[in-house]
Amino acid sequence: MKVALVSPYDWHTPGGVNGHIDSLADQLETRGHRVRILAPASGPVDDRRVVTAGRPLPIPASGSMARIALNPRLGRRVKQVLADEQFDIVHVHEPLMPWLPMQVLRHSRSVHPGTVNVGTFHARKDGGNRLYSYGRPLLKRRFREIDGKIAVSEPAAQYVGRYFPGFYNLIPNGVDIDRFASLSIEPIARFDDGVINLLYVGRAEKRKGLAYLLRAFAAVHARNPDTRLLVVGPNSRARRRYRRMVEEGDQPGIVFIDDVSDEELARYYRTAQVFCSPATGNESQGYVLLEAMAASVPVVASNIDGYASVITHGVEGSLVRPKDEQQLADALTSLVRNADARAAFAAAGRRRVEDYSWPHVTQRLLSYYERLVYDRATHLRSLRPAAARD
């Protein structure tokens, strides 16, 4: 099959959707399929698979900044790419985001009637979506162009289903288990010193809950001085503000590590004894939880819908009330002091994460593609005159 994977987000900006698309492209190519990635880009892209369309602009979205292309003239570029490539599958991620995904859905069938349109919905926003609410009359036209609808989790399906009811096939984000589970991964030497390392991985956005973790760790460290908190993530103004807060408060045991490579990230998971993600909401699944579970690191996370769809409290980890730094501190302290509990959570998480391995996820997706292609071909045959069908 010839497959287009469409992202609304700047290809030069790392993120969950772009990372998912990049890994999925690798998996599909490994199985012999031809893949093109269509995305906006803020500069040249050195990847033969990527076809750029549009210049992205930063737009506030779900407590973060989304860099998307808003040029209404994208249609001409999109139509030309679709006509040149003649895709069997057009797989649009966040299909109702402006502007590129909607242009792809608008034109895919006009240039190749046999194309199957697939849409994956990744997002979850606890307070609702104004774009979906106010733009529903227009978006319904694009929504009807989607043959196969996928949500990465039940919370993501419930979220989009509030505005656009229908059947959503649940196919989660995949994780490269080997990348985090390999026994050849060495811990970071300077932190491999007998101190118990707690690890946070993520941006410093308010919704990620880092402020609650920093305050909770003060209590953990006071109870257990042989602990350290490693805060790993991209450098930003918010992150620098948190760092100054820690330094000015003379808070011990906290180390900020900026902009680590993929290889280094796996080593930080290997260095950690406990992983913590205290997000306050707007999480559809929690990719960092999967990374920690693949690395056999026990998890403490907020009890929000997206995380609870991955972690069962008391089985693969501990779930605590969001924004409750006291309960967070207590859960972390409990694991710091109990090596057997850490080992039990780690083993259960490692078993659970197999459901999210990329080979497993890709096979589920390909099976869905094949059903949709068959259904589309059957539908087109039914539209032909009887003589032509014979």
- The tens digit of pLDDT for each residue in 314-347 reads 999 999 999 999 999 999 999 999 999 999 999 9
Q: What is the pLDDT of residue 134?
A: 87
- Judged by DSSP in three states, 298 sits in coil
Answer left, alpha or beta for residue 281, where phi above 0 means left and psi between -120 and 50 means alpha.
left
Contact 326, 376 (CB under 8 A): no
pLDDT tens track for 219-273: 999 999 999 999 999 999 999 999 999 999 999 999 999 999 989 999 999 999 9
How many other CB atoms sit within 10 Å of the CB of residue 89?
27
pLDDT tens track for 113-149: 999 999 999 988 877 788 898 889 889 999 999 999 9
The residue-averaged pLDDT of 151-160 equals 95
In CATH, 2-174+357-389 is 2.40.280.10? no
pLDDT tens track for 175-201: 999 999 998 999 999 999 999 999 999
Higher pLDDT, 128 or 360: 360
Q: What is the pLDDT of residue 130?
A: 83
Q: What is the pLDDT of residue 387?
A: 45
Q: Phi first, then psi: what are they for 163, rounded to 5°?
A: -105, -35
Contact 256, 268 (CB under 8 A): no
Report the distance separating Cα 246 and Cα 149, nearest Å: 45
DSSP state letter for 115: P
Share of the chain above pLDDT 90, in %: 85
Contact 199, 276 (CB under 8 A): yes
**Which stretch of DSSP H or E encloses residue 78?**
helix 74-85
Q: What is the pLDDT of residue 71?
A: 86
Strands 64-69 and 56-61 come out as antiparallel
Q: What is the pLDDT of residue 339?
A: 98
Nearest residue to 148 via CA among 34, 3, 282, 357: 3
Q: Report domain 177-354's class.
A: alpha beta
Q: 388 pLDDT exceeds 60?
A: no
What sign has the CA pseudo-torsion 360, 362, 363, 368?
Answer: positive
Q: 62 pLDDT exceeds 80?
A: no
Q: Phi first, then psi: what are they for 103, rounded to 5°?
A: -70, -35
Buried b (16+ CB within 10 A) or exposed e, 10-28: bbbbebbbbebbbbbbebb
Q: 63 pLDDT exceeds 80?
A: no
Tell me if domain 2-174+357-389 and domain 177-354 are identical in fold.
Answer: yes
Q: What is the pLDDT of residue 386?
A: 54
Q: What is the pLDDT of residue 48?
A: 94
Strands 2-6 and 34-39 come out as parallel
- Average pLDDT of the chain is 94
The residue-averaged pLDDT of 162-183 equals 95
Amino acid at 186: E
Q: What is the pLDDT of residue 231?
A: 98
Instruction: State both tokens at 326.
Output: 């006291």
Model pTM?
A: 0.91
Amino acid at 135: G
Domain boundaries, the chain: 2-174+357-389, 177-354
Least confident of 15-24, 156-165, 298-307, 376-385: 376-385
How many other CB atoms sit within 10 Å of the CB of residue 343?
12
